[in-house]
Amino acid sequence: MKKNLLYSITLITISLLLVNCKKNNADLPTECNINDSSNASVTRVSYGSESRQNYELYLPNNHNTNTPVIILVHGGAWILGPKPMDTVKLFTSDLGWNLVNPLLNQGYGVAVAKYRLACYNTVSANYTNDPMFYMKDQLADIQSIIDQLKIDAGSLSYSNQTYGLIGESAGAHISLLYALSNQSDPALKTVLSFYSPASLDEQTFKNNMSSFPFNNIPVDLGYGFGARKAANSCNLVTTGTANLFFATKSLCGYNMSVSSTTPSQYIDTLNPAYPNNIARSLPTFVMHGAVDALVPEHHADSIIHAITTKFNTTPAPLNDFTSIHKMKKYSNCNHGWGGGSCNRNEVINDVISWLSNHL
């Protein structure tokens, strides 16, 4: 029973969702049915030369040059993601919760982003020995997304100076590393983290990643997922399985051991809770499920403690969404906001409350 539950959680964690889109001759979506009355338009925008460097930009009715845009960054253990030209989406209703529509209904634009993936590698001799080898590209992609949004703001009619960033799981990890750095774009006004890991070499996290079902993730779950395998070309593939512990080792370029209880300083540059990675006191909301089976809930404690210690601030009380730094755990919520008793409406309402106070 427990294994079946964990397997269901895994499907929730790494699934990207199909939406019903009409396409033009270039096979790019021009408008999508997103199952509400907003009649929002969606356009695919390229922000770099590689095929995965694109995002779907949703704009609500009556958008104008004051409309803020929220960038959504998917998870997938840094090595999993949609095929470059797929119209798959995250943060929509098929998982039992929907963030895109509430954002649109509040008057926000939404950019659902793809980014360059790390190369999945199960051979330790092929590790890069450079923890920033892939991460520097993923961080650069966040900046490039913001740059492209600014370029198109005038012609597409939304704000060129007001953006928010929301990431989930690995996407939250990337988002925190970018947003809290001293090089993050001034137009970025806030970051929200959904169940991000705080330290990639933390013992319980390693144990979870290397255990069923997270050590045997089907790459193709019917949602257009793919993994990049260790090969000269590191091509996107859509068959087989992935082990999330090897995915993390691939990102780090370092042969971590589950049995070693001493975190390696070698990968500190990849840890959001590492003090040297926290330079900008940006409004930050750390959100985590209280029963997360993959990323332990104490990772949220580590992140908010590192931020508030760095800036000598106090985390916001439970119902205060005005403070600069906040952390909240959600009862009965698993990774991906999974779980039948997880109050996903509370999660969404809290996101809206936070954004309304910080954008």
**Using CA atoms, how far apart are residues 112 and 42, in angstroms rounded to an integer?**
10
Taking 3-state DSSP, the helix, strand and coil percentages for the chain, each rounded to the nearest 5, stand at 30, 20, 45
CA distance linking residue 108 with residue 93, whole number of Å: 18
- Mean pLDDT value of segment 162-176: 97
Answer positive or negative: Cα dihedral of 302, 306, 307, 308.
Answer: positive
Residue 27 has pLDDT above 90, yes or no: no
3-class SS of residue 153: helix
Residue 337 backbone zone (phi > 0: left; psi -120 to 50: alpha; other: beta) = left
Domain residue limits at 133: 2-358
The Cα–Cα gap between 82 and 61 comes to 27
CA dist 175 and 168 (Å) reads: 9
Q: At CA 166, angle to CA 161 and CA 167, rounded to 5?
A: 135
| Mean pLDDT calculated for residue range 10-23 | 39
pLDDT of residue 30: 37
List phi, psi (to 5°) of 289.
Answer: -75, 140
On the question of pLDDT at 191 being above 90, the answer is yes
The model's confidence at residue 298, banded by pLDDT at 50, 70 and 90, is very high
| pLDDT value for 19 | 33
Asked if the bond preceding 317 is cis, omega within 30° of 0, the reply is: no
Q: Is 49 exposed, middle or buried (0-12, 13-18, 19+ CB in 10 A)?
A: exposed
pTM: 0.91
Indicate which CATH number applies to the domain containing 33: 3.40.50.1820
Q: Mean pLDDT, to the nearest integer, of 194-202?
A: 97
pLDDT of residue 180: 98
DSSP 8-state secondary structure symbol assigned to residue 109: E
Average pLDDT, the chain: 87
The amino acid that residue 240 corresponds to is G
Four-residue CA torsion sign, 293, 174, 88, 107 = positive
Per DSSP, the residues of 2-38 read HHHHHHHHHHHHH--EE-EEEE-TTS-EEEEE-SSTT
CB atoms within 10 A of CB 117: 25
* Higher pLDDT pick, 246 / 238: 246
Amino acid 85: pLDDT: 83
Contacts of 38 by beta carbon, 8 Å cutoff, 6+ apart: 60, 61, 101, 104, 105
Is residue 15 within 8 A of residue 221, CB to CB? The reply is yes
Q: Which of 83, 115, 96, 352 is nearest to 223 (CA)?
A: 83
pLDDT value for 98? 86
What tokens does 193 get? 């983290």
Report the percentage of the chain scoring pLDDT > 70. 83
Packing angle between helix 135-156 and helix 170-179, nearest 10 degrees?
80
**Which three-class secondary structure state does DSSP give residue 352?**
helix
Please state the domain count of the chain.
Answer: 1
Report the pLDDT value the prediction gives residue 64, as an integer from 0 to 100. 97
Residues 6+ apart with CB under 8 A from 201: 252, 256, 263, 264, 267, 271
The mean pLDDT of 169-185, rounded to a whole number, is 97
Banded pLDDT at 245 (limits 50, 70, 90) = very high
- Maximum mean pLDDT: which of 2-6, 171-175, 238-242: 171-175
Residues 8-12, mean pLDDT to the nearest whole number: 45
Mean pLDDT, residues 227-245 taken together: 76
